[in-house]
């Protein structure tokens, strides 16, 4: 079973299921047992970009993102997508049980803190 994380953006909470890969496991280790908070800013009207403050192993492949995708960029940034993009990224996971419109409404708001917690 893949690991899930709780993602809090402002007053909104989302759940994401992580990929079963080395990079997602490294993210889980980075988050640890305590909430892990990063600062997010919007980029290109399609993603919220956050510096992880450290590097984790990347396994980049060319992918087409969709709303709800969570990717590792350059080994030290986590991006939460609310629209589409194509580039070489490492897929980390995907937000569950929200529509594209709900994801966009939550993530496209102004720059904000994003908190991640491992929930299983």
**Residue given tokens 């402002």 in the structure block:** 10
pLDDT at 2: 84
For residue 95, name the pLDDT band (cuts at 50, 70, 90): very high
Residue 14: its pLDDT value, please?
A: 96
Strand (E) or helix (H) holding 47:
strand 47-51
If one counts every other C-beta atom within 10 angstroms of the C-beta of residue 58, the result is 18
Phi-psi label, residue 44: left if phi above 0, alpha if psi -120 to 50, beta otherwise: left
Instruction: Tell me the pTM.
Output: 0.94
In angstroms, the CA 3 to CA 20 distance is 8
pLDDT band at 108 (very low <50, low <70, confident <90, very high): very high
Give the chain's length.
Answer: 120
């Amino acid at each position: 079973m893949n690991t899930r994380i709780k993602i809090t953006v402002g007053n909104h909470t989302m759940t994401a299921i992580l990929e079963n890969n080395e990079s997602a496991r490294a993210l889980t280790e980075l988050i640890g047992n305590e909430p892990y908070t990063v600062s997010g800013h919007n980029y290109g009207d399609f993603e919220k970009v956050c510096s992880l403050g450290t590097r984790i192993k990347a396994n980049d492949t060319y992918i087409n993102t969709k709303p709800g995708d969570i990717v590792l960029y350059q080994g030290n940034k986590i991006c939460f997508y609310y629209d589409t993009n194509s580039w070489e990224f490492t897929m980390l996971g995907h937000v569950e049980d929200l529509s594209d419109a709900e994801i966009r409404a939550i993530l496209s708001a102004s720059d904000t803190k994003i908190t991640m917690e491992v929930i299983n």
